[in-house]
Amino acid sequence: METNQSILICGIGGQGVVLSGKIISLSAFYENYDVKTSEVHGMSQRGGSVSTHLRYGEKIFTPLISMHSADIILSFDLYETIRYIGYAKKETKIITASEGKYIRGSSSNQIKLPSPKSIIDKIKIDLNLKNLFAIDIEKIALELGNIKVANTILIGVSSQFTYIKEHTWLSILKENVPAKTTDINEKAFLLGRKMLN
């Protein structure tokens, strides 16, 4: 049973939450694990919060992760990380973008959002969730030459906490990104994978 892993992927519509879920689940499937995912559709293209629950292992009944039991939280937006923090336990690896996209208020633009630094401190210190890795993916992706590989970097980072082998990740990644971008995606993935070493 201990081979089961629960991965929660979150972000905003359009950031690649669904595609990331697909890449992870196909990788797990390729290695003969049972895998189940659950997505919330509807707002996916319209700027709302989007999340995917993904569980893989020997035998999975429900794809839904219960509170306090995610093994990995993979978040493309720091503010979204907060929304799903109830799924984290002490050991959870929280791999998150270090920045969050501005959230529009209801009738004025004057919402004061906490600063990224204060959020990270709060999660690490107040909530005692030490395994938080905040990564400036946009900056790194731009340095690599394509902002769109930002999420691939995060998948790379999280990959080392899974039971899935590197060559599996790479072959699935290649099959599922646009043909023109396979090289840069591979680079981004490997960069992420080695980042925490």
Partner 1 sequence: MANLFVEGKYGDKGIILGNEAIARGALEAGVGYASMYPGTPASEIIITLDKNKKYIKNIYTEFSLNEHISLHGAIGASWSGIRSLCAMKNVGLNVASEPAHFLAYTGVKAGLVLAIGSDPGAPSSSNEQDDRWYSLHTYMPILEPSNIQEAKDFTKKAFEISEQFSFGIILMAPSRLCHNAGILHFGDCLDRDLISGNFKRDPENYLNLFNLAVKNHKKYLERNELLKKYANTSELNIIIDAETGSRNHYRGNNHRIGFISSGVIYAHLIEALNFINADNYKILKLGITFPLSEELIKRFLNDLDEVVIVEEAEGFLEFQIKKIAFEIGYRGKIHGKNIFNAYGELTVDDVIKGAANFLKKPPPEYFDTAVKNLEMISDKIPQRMGTFCVGCPHRGSIYSILKASGYSNTDSKDRDVIIAGDIGCYTLGLLPPYNAMDWLTCMNSGLSIGQAISIADKSKKIIALVGDSTFYHSGIPVLMNAVQNNSNILYIILDNSWTAMTGHQKTPSTKIDIDGISNPNAINLKDLLKSLGISYIKTIDPNNVKRFSVLIKEALKEKGLKVIIAKRECILQEERRNKINKIKNVKLNNKPEIIYELQKERCVKCNECFVELACPAIQLKKEDDNKEFYFIDTIACVKCGVCYEVCPNGAIRKVEFNLHSLINSEPQVNLLNNKENKTELKIIT
For binding to partner 1 (CB under 8 A), which residues are involved? 12-13, 21-22, 25-26, 29, 34-43, 45-49, 60-68, 79-80, 82-83, 85-89, 101-109, 111, 113-114, 119, 122-123, 126-127, 129, 147
Of 86 and 145, which has the nearer Cβ to partner 1? 86
Identify which of residues 176 and 195 has a Cβ nearer to partner 1 in the complex.
Answer: 176
- State whether residue 6 is helix, strand or coil: strand
What does the alpha-carbon distance between residue 38 and residue 56 come to, in Å, rounded to a whole number? 12
In terms of C-beta density within 10 A (0-12 exposed, 13-18 middle, 19 or more buried), how is residue 87 classed?
Answer: buried
What minimum distance in Å lies between the beta carbon of 96 and partner 1?
13
β-pair partners for 49: 12
Q: How far is the CB of 166 from partner 1 (least distance, A)?
A: 20
Tell me the closest approach of the beta carbon of residue 194 to partner 1, in angstroms: 28
DSSP 8-state secondary structure symbol assigned to residue 168: H
Rounded distance, CA 193 to CA 127, Å?
A: 26
Alpha-carbon span 17 to 11, nearest angstrom = 6
How many other CB atoms sit within 10 Å of the CB of residue 104? 10
Select 80 or 186, whichever has its Cβ closest to partner 1.
Answer: 80
Q: Is the Cβ of residue 40 or residue 195 nearer to partner 1 in the bound state? A: 40
Q: Which is nearer to partner 1, 24 or 95 (CB)?
A: 24
Quick check: 55 and 36 in contact, CB under 8 A?
yes
Nearest-approach distance from CB 131 to partner 1, in angstroms: 14
Nearest to 20 by CA among 128, 136, 169: 169
- Closest distance between partner 1 and the C-beta of residue 112, in Å? 9
